[in-house]
A = this chain, B = another copy of it.
Amino acid sequence: MIETIYQHRSIRKFSNQPVSSDILKKILHAGTRASTTGNMQVYSLIVTIQNELKRKLWEAHFRQDMVLEAPIIITFCADYNRFVKWCKQRKANPGYDNFLSFFTGAIDALLAAQNVALAAESFSLGICYLGTTTYMAEKIIDILDLPKLVVPVTSLVIGHPNESPGLTDRLPTEGIIHYEKYSDYNAEDIDRIYADKEQLELTAELLKENNKETLAQVFTDNRYTKKDNIYFSKELLKVLNKQGFMNNE
């Protein structure tokens, strides 16, 4: 178990071998066993295999090749639609059209996603999360016919790996774990925590490729810019509103 966790790598190249329906079933079942708020199960999984739909999702997900290559893409959604329909059919008055409920559904969906990811890896399949899900939520809602009170929060591509990358570097554990309370970082802490990462060969390559002085600039200027973040923040809030999750009065 813990070895599966320790050995995780994101896989972005897949063979064209399909995933057997038996294994897919086991993986999906794993998702449904994750903790869920008050056992409400306020999330849904959408398993997309058809080429035409995958092609549309690929377009939404910034045309990343792995979305076309992987035989399966699963979209994890916060979902109060089913629960609210049940309430209404059972003489109950639901009050779940608000931000807290969206976030509750998002937590459910994300814990299920990580169960699915680990279950897939335990069968030697490869997975990669798609951060583009929240950026492109509106388009994904359209492609997958998501009704009100359903919002996609993450996606996984899953398939048989066609690459075997090494473990990704991580900050030293002490850099992200705090004991008892939060200990804020001083300048020396930051230097120490990021030192190994900054000395990687990969970092030298990135600086050259992107023509930057520091690795941090690769993130702020190229990968995750203020302009994009503000644009996609507005889009995501608009989506929450449109899907009916912003009635907070």
> In angstroms, how far is the closest chain B Cβ from the Cβ of A91?
6
Q: How far is the CA of A185 from the CA of B123 in the complex (A)?
A: 32
Q: Which A108-160 residues have a C-beta within 8 angstroms of B?
A: 110-111, 113-115, 117-119, 121-123, 128-129, 131, 134-135, 143-147, 150, 153-154
**Given A33-B8, A106-B106, A182-B144, do A44 and B229 touch, yes or no (CB 8 Å)?**
no
| CB atoms of B193 and A82 under 8 A apart | yes
Chain A contacts to B: CB under 8 angstroms: 1-2, 4-6, 8, 10, 25-26, 28-30, 32-35, 37-41, 43-50, 53, 77, 79, 81-83, 85-87, 89-96, 98-101, 103-104, 106-107, 110-111, 113-115, 117-119, 121-123, 128-129, 131, 134-135, 143-147, 150, 153-154, 168-171, 173, 175-182, 184-185, 187, 190-191, 193-194, 213-217, 219-221, 223-227, 229-230, 232-234, 236-237, 247-249
Q: Is the CB of A190 within 8 A of B89?
A: yes
CB A120 to nearest CB in B, in angstroms, measures 10
Closest chain-B Cβ to A225's Cβ sits at a distance in Å of: 6
Contact flag A153-B107 (CB < 8 Å), given A86-B194, A216-B87: yes
Of the candidates B83, B146, B177, B181, the one whose C-beta lies within 8 Å of that of A182 is B146
Q: Is the CB of A177 within 8 A of B33?
A: no
Q: Are B98 and A178 in contact (CB under 8 A)?
A: no
Residues of B close to A118: CB separation below 8 A:
1, 5, 115, 118
Cα separation A173 to B154 with both chains bound (whole Å)? 19
**Which residue among A1, A10, A117, A168 has the maximum number of chain B CB atoms within 10 Å of its CB?**
A1
- State in angstroms the CA–CA spacing of A6 and B29 once bound together: 8
- Which of B100, B119, B178 is in CB contact (< 8 Å) with A45? B178
Instruction: Quickly give the copy total for this chain.
Output: 2
Of the candidates B49, B135, B175, B217, the one whose C-beta lies within 8 Å of that of A82 is: B175
A85-B185 in contact (CB<8A): yes
**Docked CA distance A186–B9 (Å):** 40
Contact status B81-A184, CB under 8 Å: yes
Query: Does the CB pair A248–B233 fall under 8 Å?
Result: yes
Known A-B contacts: A89-B191, A95-B226, A107-B154. Give 10 more (CB < 8 A).
A1-B4, A10-B35, A32-B173, A86-B194, A89-B216, A91-B214, A91-B217, A92-B219, A99-B237, A107-B131
